[in-house]
Amino acid sequence: MKLKQYFEKHRVALLWTLFAGTIVVVFLLGLLAASVTERRAEIATLFNNKRVEIKGIESRSEIWGENYPREFETWIKTKEMEFESKHNGNKFVDVLEMRPNMVVLWAGYAFSRDYSAPRGHAYAVEDVVHTLRTGAPMTIEENMQPATCWACKSPDVPRLMAEVGIENFYKSKWSEFGHEVVNPIGCADCHNPENMNIAISRPALTEAFDRMGKDIHKSTIQERRSLACAQCHVEYYFKGDGKYLTFPWDKGMSAENMEKYYDEVGFTDWIHTLSKAPMLKAQHPDYELFMMGPHAQRGLSCADCHMPYKSEGAIKYSDHHLVSPLMYIDRTCQTCHRDSKENLLKYVYEYQDKILETRDRVEEELVKAHVGAKFAWDKGATEKQMEPVLKLLRAAQWRWDFAVASHGASFHAPVETQRILSHSLDKSYQAQLEVNKVLAQLGVKEEIPVPDISTKEKAQKYIGLDMPKLKGAKDKFIAEKVPEWLTKARENKRLL
Ligand code: HEC
Ligand code: HEC
Ligand code: HEC
Ligand code: HEC
């Protein structure tokens, strides 16, 4: 009774309290909801607060940069050219000038004209346009390379493949797309714009997986942090008349397995002009060799060392300045290894020095074998007599190139790289022994002559290259054709 009277008396006040209480609860619930949404929004900002909507294959990375300024700003740094480690770096280095033996090893192949160390991704298009390896095609007929040569240089490539068809792209001539392939390696090479996941833009990688019975779409995020790179940093060849870009992984990824593949399909990159051996040119099996090394076996991916995380306030993002990890040891090696910078550098340099020691020996002996084979031909050797020599030369040089063309291999997979090089040295000596047998059969008593190939110029002259003519034609091409391409690209809004 008392309680009822109490209620009657304070009815208004109680109703007000209830009302206020409800407001507080609603307010608190609102706060909680807001905080959850805010956190989700924080994650989603990256993808939903896009300033521009990216549709289709957008090869102009500047446009992606509007949405992802941090990744863009670090990506742009691949233009920098001042880092140098003991054996690598992002500077321009004329490799043939440093190691003229390579001119002789590639006699008859475009690499003997010109070969420089890789630079940052920002230079991919510029470098392939300027190298003497692509010649000076003022007309379509003058092309020495197919359009396949653009395949690892630009996000304009997947865009063109979508437009003209994959097969048509490969079987076109290189210069046909000079005004189309103008943006260096960029966002669309590695990302799906809808969710920014790693997307495989190059059909050759997906096709190689298919042939190995693996579904690339089932790969894990960690695997994709390497597969993004495996679109280009791999061994490949141009298959058949259609010059279809193909990775020779059907029998496995070791030097021997790929060689078996090439031998079975009867593939030859070129005939060596001195020894007449049917040669293979290894490209840059970075991914394949890395996978055989200690870090891959512990589950690391390329991005763990080449795209370390960077912090900006509360935001953590992937550094897109793809470069030697020795440039930022504090953010690469030292995130996992509690060791000094000096020690970490020492480990890398020790692996590299020991392997390059063997490499230098191989190059000397391999040159001797080619020169000896030429001498035997000059003295009248028959094809039958030379058969074992040529076989050994092909096998020896394939192994040398496989180990050397992957610039990171001596650190990525030191034991495997040293193993391949030791087989190369063995086969180079065997080839020389076979040459000596042929010379003995022919009754030749003279010593094999030793050419002077002490400089790039001398070596190029020795193999019969007319460098002034090649350079003259290239200069004309760069002065006249390239500006034409760029003007057209700007008119068509291919370039910003
Ligand atoms: C060579 C391949 C490659 C290129 C080119 C590339 N990215 Fe990435 N990107 C990656 C990889 C690998 C990751 C890490 C993905 C992961 O860990 O899941 C990444 C991550 C990202 C992320 C997720 C957040 C982060 O930073 O980790 C964004 C956003 C991004 N990239 C934007 C860009 C933009 C913008 C460009 C062009 C300016 C670009 N990327 C070019 C490979 C690439
Ligand atoms: C679309 C093809 C393509 C993709 C994808 C690609 N690269 Fe490259 N990369 C190249 C080319 C071409 C060069 C040489 C450019 C030059 O010298 O002009 C290069 C050069 C490099 C260099 C040498 C840079 C220097 O400063 O010397 C490094 C390191 C590198 N790439 C790492 C990677 C890593 C790691 C990935 C994956 C996250 C990757 N690349 C993905 C094509 C590619
Ligand atoms: C454990 C760290 C680590 C991982 C993971 C790694 N690399 Fe490297 N990479 C290095 C180091 C160290 C070098 C040697 C750099 C130097 O000598 O300056 C190197 C060198 C290179 C180079 C030559 C750079 C130049 O300046 O010419 C390329 C290209 C490259 N790596 C690509 C890759 C690719 C592709 C992957 C994955 C398949 C990968 N790396 C995985 C540490 C790593
Ligand atoms: C994401 C982690 C990670 C990063 C980054 C990393 N490593 Fe490692 N590293 C490992 C692991 C894990 C092992 C295997 C260690 C073990 O089994 O004791 C290893 C092993 C090594 C070894 C011994 C290799 C062998 O033959 O067994 C050396 C040397 C090494 N790392 C150097 C480096 C250098 C130099 C860098 C930077 C360029 C680097 N690591 C970056 C994780 C990393």
Residues with CB under 6 A from ligand 4: 294-295, 298, 300, 304-305, 325, 332-333, 335-337, 344, 347-348
Pocket mutation for ligand 3, best pick of 289, 305, 333, 337 (most atoms within 8 Å of C-beta):
305
Residue 363 in any domain: the answer is no
d(CA 368, CA 431): 9
Residue 333 in any domain: the answer is no
pLDDT for residue 39 is more than 50: no
pLDDT for residue 428 is more than 60: yes
Specify the ligand 1 atom closest to the Cα of 221. Answer: 18
Specify the ligand 2 atom closest to the Cα of 83. Answer: 26
Specify the residue with its C-alpha closest to ligand 3, atom 21: 408
pTM, to two decimals: 0.92
Specify the ligand 3 atom closest to the Cα of 326. Answer: 18
Section 39-45 average pLDDT: 43
**Are 396 and 372 contacting, i.e. CB atoms less than 8 angstroms apart?**
no
Question: How far, in Å, is the centroid of ligand 2 from the Cα of 185?
Answer: 8
How many CB atoms are located within 10 Å of the residue 245 CB?
A: 25
Which carries the bigger pLDDT value, residue 487 or residue 15? 487
pLDDT for residue 176 is more than 50: yes
Pocket mutation for ligand 1, best pick of 123, 187, 301 (most atoms within 8 Å of C-beta):
187
Question: How far, in Å, is the centroid of ligand 4 from the Cα of 334?
Answer: 9
- Residue 138 has φ and ψ, to the nearest 5°, of -75, -25
Residues with CB under 6 A from ligand 2: 90, 118-121, 123-124, 127, 152-153, 185, 189-190, 228-229, 231-233, 302-303, 306-307, 322-323
**The pLDDT value given to residue 10:** 72
pLDDT for residue 49 is more than 80: no
pLDDT digits over 147-161, tens only? 999 999 999 999 999
pLDDT for residue 141 is more than 90: yes
Specify the ligand 3 atom closest to the Cα of 348. Answer: 12
Pocket mutation for ligand 4, best pick of 85, 88, 295 (most atoms within 8 Å of C-beta):
295
pLDDT digits over 262-304, tens only? 999 999 999 999 999 999 999 999 999 999 999 999 999 999 9
Question: How far, in Å, is the centroid of ligand 1 from the Cα of 192?
Answer: 10
d(CA 136, CA 436): 41
Residue 104 in any domain: the answer is no
Per-residue pLDDT band for 36 (boundaries 50, 70, 90) equals very low
**Are 274 and 104 contacting, i.e. CB atoms less than 8 angstroms apart?**
yes
Tell me if 78 CB under 6 Å of ligand 1. no
Section 343-356 average pLDDT: 98
pLDDT for residue 448 is more than 90: yes
**The pLDDT value given to residue 168:** 98
Section 33-37 average pLDDT: 44
Specify the residue with its C-alpha closest to ligand 1, atom 22: 196
Residue 172 in any domain: the answer is yes
237 three-class SS: strand
Section 436-445 average pLDDT: 98
Per-residue pLDDT band for 40 (boundaries 50, 70, 90) equals very low
Instruction: Identify which ligand lies nearest to the alpha carbon of 311.
Output: 1
Section 464-473 average pLDDT: 98
CATH of the domain at 219: 1.10.1130.10
Pocket mutation for ligand 1, best pick of 68, 79, 197, 306 (most atoms within 8 Å of C-beta):
68
**The pLDDT value given to residue 38:** 43
- Residue 116 has φ and ψ, to the nearest 5°, of -120, 160
Section 317-336 average pLDDT: 97
Total number of domains constituting the chain: 1
For the record, the structure tokens of 295 come out as 């870090």
d(CA 53, CA 194): 9
pLDDT for residue 236 is more than 80: yes
Instruction: Identify which ligand lies nearest to the alpha carbon of 347.
Output: 4
Per-residue pLDDT band for 11 (boundaries 50, 70, 90) equals confident
pLDDT digits over 68-127, tens only? 999 999 999 999 999 999 999 988 899 999 999 999 999 999 999 999 999 999 999 999
Specify the residue with its C-alpha closest to ligand 3, atom 31: 408
* Contact residues for 462 (Cβ-Cβ < 8 A; gap 6+): 103, 104, 451, 452, 453
Question: How far, in Å, is the centroid of ligand 3 from the Cα of 269?
Answer: 27
Per-residue pLDDT band for 2 (boundaries 50, 70, 90) equals low
How many CB atoms are located within 10 Å of the residue 138 CB?
A: 14
Residue 353 in any domain: the answer is no
What does the DSSP 8-state code read for residue 284?
Answer: -
Tell me if 68 CB under 6 Å of ligand 1. yes
What does the DSSP 8-state code read for residue 339?
Answer: S
Tell me if 462 CB under 6 Å of ligand 1. no
Residue 58 in any domain: the answer is yes
* Contact residues for 205 (Cβ-Cβ < 8 A; gap 6+): 216, 227, 230, 231, 234, 247
**Are 451 and 427 contacting, i.e. CB atoms less than 8 angstroms apart?**
no
What does the DSSP 8-state code read for residue 238?
Answer: E
Specify the ligand 3 atom closest to the Cα of 86. Answer: 17
Question: How far, in Å, is the centroid of ligand 3 from the Cα of 408?
Answer: 5
60: domain range? Answer: 52-81+110-268+467-496
pLDDT-above-70 percentage for the chain: 91
Residue 418 in any domain: the answer is no
Question: How far, in Å, is the centroid of ligand 2 from the Cα of 155?
Answer: 13
pLDDT digits over 201-231, tens only? 999 999 999 999 999 999 999 999 999 999 9
**The pLDDT value given to residue 47:** 60
Residue 152 in any domain: the answer is yes
d(CA 138, CA 142): 7
Q: How far is CA 216 from CA 57, 190, 212, in A?
A: 20, 14, 10
